[in-house]
Amino acid sequence: MVSKKTRFWILIGLVTISGFSQGMLLPLLAVILEQNGVSSSINGIHATALYIGILISSPFMEKPLQKFGYKPVILSGGALVILSLSLFPVWQSLWFWFILRMMIGIGDQILHFGTQTWITATAHEQSRGKSIAYYGLFFSLGFTLGPLMTNLLSINMHLPFILSALISLLVWGTMWFVRNEMPPNEHTTAYGTSSYKRFALAIKLGWVAFLPPFTYGFLEATLHGIFPIYGMRIGHDVNMLSFIIPSFAAASLLSQIPLGSLSDQYGRKIIIMSVVTYGIAAFTFAALFEDSTIGLFATFAIGGLFVGSLFSLGISYMTDLLPGELLPAGNILCGMSFSLGSISGPFLTGIFIDLFPGVSFFYTIVILLLIVLAATALKTSPSATQKTT
């Protein structure tokens, strides 16, 4: 059996291929469905399947983990993802692919819950933040590389699915060399007899902290799932789009740790307001220069540098706002907010493109960021006593 250090990197590898599969599916299926004449609104609804799978499976993760341990849970989630990816070439049907997308969402959520819990439960307290930073960075790295698979469509439509399934299978296979462990008895989540009260109180105290994860989910799903459609309609080449889209996630890799450090120094609220302001500017310029490939690449990268860290900043802000006993509920609500944003983003922007074909879809992102900026500005900062209660 492998060492704890090797186990950590195997878990990180699984997170990377999970990000890779998600980053590949959104633009890949958007392009295929667009080329087959599917409307942008239906395309947007179809893109929500992955996040519907994540959302509906979230309440059922804890009991299997407590009963079987980390390894079986992670293996089952990875197996579901690999099986679903390999079934895409079998039958090209809108509803069949919708179901497969949803199954990948469920599998990814199982995999993420197992790996994230194992990493946080076994990491040393002084290095736990660094471990989670690696987790976020490598998921983003996989998400950045995934859209490049769209280029393989020119060779064969089935090739991206087959290749991603094989890559996932290779990484998943390394998990068999890891010894199973059971979660500690004191490990709890927000689920329980009084979970509804804890959720309600967490929302009351920390509602503003759930807006950044929602916004990040909205951005991620929209830029990967709907922008390829919009980009083709305004005359951009598919291969060029596959390089523009990853620039958002790639740029976020550079800024996640620096922005987190700045938020420790100057406060979460001021940093969130600052990055959202720069995000508004970036996507306003994207709307103005959307006919330029270089302009889009630059604005996507600038946007990623700032608002690409909203998910992690939101989690940190939630930790500032909630007392310790509400942190499990807050973490789950952050994940649910991300999923809700991911579901609503492609749906709303897809409808927007159909209803207002002459208006840049980037303005929907600008409007959302303006709402988040206003809400964050209105929220009073937590006092020291709030944090320690």
What's residue 191's pLDDT? Answer: 46
Instruction: Tell me the range of 135-149, 220-234, 287-301 where mean pLDDT is highest.
Output: 287-301
Q: Is 173 strand, coil or helix?
A: helix
Place of tokens 């469920």: 106
Structurally, how many domains does the chain consist of? 2
pLDDT in tens, 215-257: 998 998 888 878 888 898 888 888 888 788 888 988 988 888 7
**Statement to judge: residues 154 and 284 lie in one domain:** no
Same domain, 154 and 238: no
Query: Rounded to the nearest 5°, which phi and psi values hold at 92?
Result: -90, 90
- Extract the tokens encoding 379: 């929220």
Identity of residue 11: L
Distance CA 346, CA 259 (A): 27
| 10 — pLDDT class (breaks 50, 70, 90) | very high
The secondary structure of 52-107, three-state, reads HHHHHHHHHCHHHHHHHCHHHHHHHHHHHHHHHHHHCCCCCCHHHHHHHHHHHHHH
Q: Residue 248 — φ and ψ, nearest 5°?
A: -65, -55
- Residue 204 and residue 154 share a domain: no
Task: Give residue for tokens 């667009």.
Answer: 34
Mean pLDDT of 207-221: 92
170 and 274 together in one domain: no
Domain with 61, as residue range(s), is 1-187
pLDDT: which is higher, 196 or 141: 141
**pLDDT value at residue 338:** 84
Specify whether 330 is located in the same domain as 252. Answer: yes
Determine the straight-line distance between the first and last CA of the chain, rounded to whole angstroms.
Answer: 43
Residue 270 has pLDDT above 80, yes or no: yes
Range with the largest mean pLDDT of 107-121, 261-275, 284-298: 284-298
- Tokens 């239906």, located at residue: 42
Residues 311 and 350 in one domain: yes
* Burial class of residue 36 (count of CB atoms within 10 Å of its CB; 0-12, 13-18, 19+): exposed
The mean pLDDT of 266-270, rounded to a whole number, is 87
> What DSSP designation does 158 have?
T
Asked which of 187, 211, 233 is the last residue of a domain, the reply is: 187
| Whether residues 331 and 215 fall in one domain | yes
Per-residue pLDDT for 2 more than 60? yes
Pair (172, 270) in one structural domain: no
| Pair (174, 200) in one structural domain | no
Q: What share of the chain has pLDDT > 90, as a percent?
A: 34
Residue 384 has pLDDT above 50, yes or no: no
pLDDT of residue 383: 47
Query: What residues have CB less than 8 Å from 202, skipping those under 6 apart?
Result: 190, 322, 326, 329, 330, 333
Contacts of 199 (CB under 8 A, 6+ apart): 190, 329, 332, 333
Work out whether the CA dihedral 264, 266, 271, 273 comes out positive or negative. Answer: positive
Contact 187, 121 (CB under 8 A): yes
At residue 27 the predicted structure's pLDDT band, cuts being 50, 70 and 90, is confident
Whether residue 26 sits in one domain with residue 126:
yes
DSSP category for residue 357:
T
| Residues 69, 140: Cα–Cα separation, whole Å | 26
**pLDDT (mean) for 100-120:** 84
Pair 207, 222 in one domain? yes
Same-domain check for residues 104 and 209: no
Question: Which of the pair, 4 or 185, is modelled with greater confidence?
Answer: 4
Q: Which of 170, 187, 204 is the last residue in one of the domains?
A: 187
| pLDDT tens-digit series, residues 48-96 | 788 888 888 877 776 787 789 889 999 999 999 999 999 999 988 889 9
Q: CATH number of the domain at 129, please.
A: 1.20.1250.20
Q: Which residue has the tokens 């990967």?
A: 224
How would DSSP label each residue in 264-317?
Answer: HHH-HHHHHHHHHHHHHHHHHHHHHTTT-HHHHHHHHHHHHHHHTTHHHHHHHH
Give the domain-ending residue among 160, 187, 214. 187
pLDDT band (50, 70, 90) for residue 124: low
Cα angle for residues 61, 311, 315 (degrees, 5° grid)? 70
Q: Would you place residue 123 in the very low, low, confident or very high pLDDT band (cuts 50, 70, 90)?
A: low
For 360-382, the pLDDT digits (tens) are 989 999 999 999 999 999 976 55
Mean per-residue pLDDT over the chain, rounded: 84
Kindly tell me if the per-residue pLDDT of 273 is higher than 90: yes
Per-residue pLDDT, 66: 76
Lowest mean pLDDT of 9-13, 247-251, 262-266, 299-303, name the range. Answer: 262-266
Q: Which DSSP helix (H) or strand (E) runs through 384?
A: helix 384-388
Asked whether the predicted pLDDT for residue 275 surpasses 90, the reply is yes
Which uninterrupted H or E stretch holds 379?
none
**Tokens linked to 330:** 């807050």
Q: In the predicted model, what is the mean pLDDT of residues 99-114?
A: 89
128, with CB counted inside 10 A (0-12, 13-18, 19+), is middle
Q: What is the pLDDT of residue 335?
A: 76
- Mean pLDDT over 278-286 rounds to 96
Q: How high is the pLDDT of residue 121?
A: 67
Which residue did the predictor score with more confidence, 207 or 319? 207
State residue 41 phi and psi, 5-degree precision: -70, -45
